[in-house]
Amino acid sequence: MKNMNSKLHKQIKKALLALCIGVSGNCFAAGGLNFYGSIAKKIFPVDEHHPYQWGAVIALFAITVFVSFVGFFFKKRIESSIQNDITPPKKSSFLGFIEMAVDFAINLAEDSIGKGFRSFLPLMTTLFLVILFCNLSGLIPGLPPATSSMSTNVGMSLVVFIVYNYSGIKEHGVAGYAKQFMGPALFIAPLMIVIEVISHCSRPFSLSLRLYANLFADHLVVEKFTDLTYLLVPSLMMMFGVLVACIQSYIFVLLTGVYISMARSHDH
Q: Kindly give the confidence (pLDDT) of every residue in the chain, 268 residues in length, as a single tens digit, with 9 standing for 90 and above.
A: 445 445 445 544 444 444 344 444 444 434 456 777 777 777 777 665 565 677 888 889 999 999 998 888 888 877 776 666 556 666 667 777 888 888 888 899 889 998 888 899 999 999 999 999 998 888 787 788 888 888 899 999 999 999 999 999 999 999 889 888 887 777 788 888 899 999 999 999 999 998 888 887 776 766 666 555 555 555 666 777 788 888 999 999 999 999 999 999 876 5
Residues with Cβ within 8 Å of residue 38, at least 6 apart in sequence: none
115 Cα distance to chain centroid = 24
Cα dihedral value 19, 22, 23, 29, nearest 10: -160
Q: What is the pLDDT of residue 223?
A: 64
Supply the pLDDT for residue 78.
74
Q: How far apart are CA 148 and CA 244, in angstroms?
A: 13
Amino acid 162: pLDDT: 95
Q: How far, in Å, CA of 218 to CA of 147, rounded? A: 12
Cα 82 to Cα 50: distance, rounded to the nearest angstrom: 51
Q: Which pLDDT score, from 0 to 100, does residue 253 have? A: 93
- Check: CB of residue 253 under 8 Å from CB of residue 108: yes
- pLDDT given for residue 64 in this prediction: 92
Q: Rounded to the nearest 10 degrees, how much is the dihedral formed by the CA atoms of 116, 117, 120, 125? A: -160
Helix (H, G, I), strand (E, B) or coil at 49: coil
pLDDT for 20 equals 47
For the question of whether the overall pTM of this predicted structure is more than 0.85, the answer is no
Q: CA–CA separation, 4 vs 218, rounded Å?
A: 41
Return d(Cα 29, Cα 224) in angstroms, integer: 10
DSSP track, 186-228? GGGHHHHHHHHHHHHHHHHHHHHHHHHHHHHHHHHHHHHHHHH
pLDDT of residue 83: 65
